[in-house]
Amino acid sequence: MRIAIASDEVTALTDDLLAALRDGGHELSLHGPLAGGDQEWVAASAAAAREVAEGRAERGIVCCWSGTGASIAANKVAGVRAALCADPQTARMARRYNHANVLALSLRLTSPPMGREIVAAFLDEPDGTDDFDRRNVAELEAMEAGDERAS
């Protein structure tokens, strides 16, 4: 799987995740300091999110100190549904019920072992396919498209 990854700093978590993803055979596209640049969280997160929205990456992972700013920046890109997740079950639910395509992580709160579990859950869980899931995702897409009838 091709994964766009952004962080505004290099940490033990980012080093561990990059190694685990590479070991898992994933193709990585790096943004911000992970790519040797100096982008801050907004630019780095938006760049990774654009790759996902444009179909150049299947999923994205964005990181900043709290994870909140990276999530907000990624969600400003049309077609992106970024979810800030602190545990594997939340990551699974974000994929299943929300069809989230970008995972946001906190560099401050996420340990490398927990980060690996969260990322694995996010990458392994398929989009939900029952009527409830599809109906709600369609509603989100209509809202994003500016459909005034949505919600």
Q: Over 80: is that where the pLDDT of 122 sits?
A: yes
- Element containing residue 43 per DSSP (H, E): helix 41-53
24 Cβ contact partners less than 8 Å away, ≥ 6 residues apart: none
Residue 128 within any structural domain of the chain: yes
How many structural domains does the chain have?
Answer: 1
Residue 149 within any structural domain of the chain: no
Residue 81 within any structural domain of the chain: yes
Residue 150 within any structural domain of the chain: no
Angle at 146 between CA 142 and CA 147, to 5 degrees: 55
In the residue annotation, 85 being an active-site residue is answered as: no
Residue 40 within any structural domain of the chain: yes
Residue 151 within any structural domain of the chain: no
Residue tagged active-site, from 64, 84, 102, 103: 64
pTM: 0.94
Residue 43 within any structural domain of the chain: yes
In tens, the pLDDT along 31-73 reads 999 999 888 999 999 999 999 999 999 999 999 999 999 999 9
Instruction: Quote the domain boundaries for residue 12.
Output: 2-144
Sequence length of the chain is: 151
Q: Which CATH number do you get for residue 116?
A: 3.40.1400.10
Q: For the chain, what is the mean pLDDT?
A: 95
Q: Over 70: is that where the pLDDT of 151 sits?
A: no
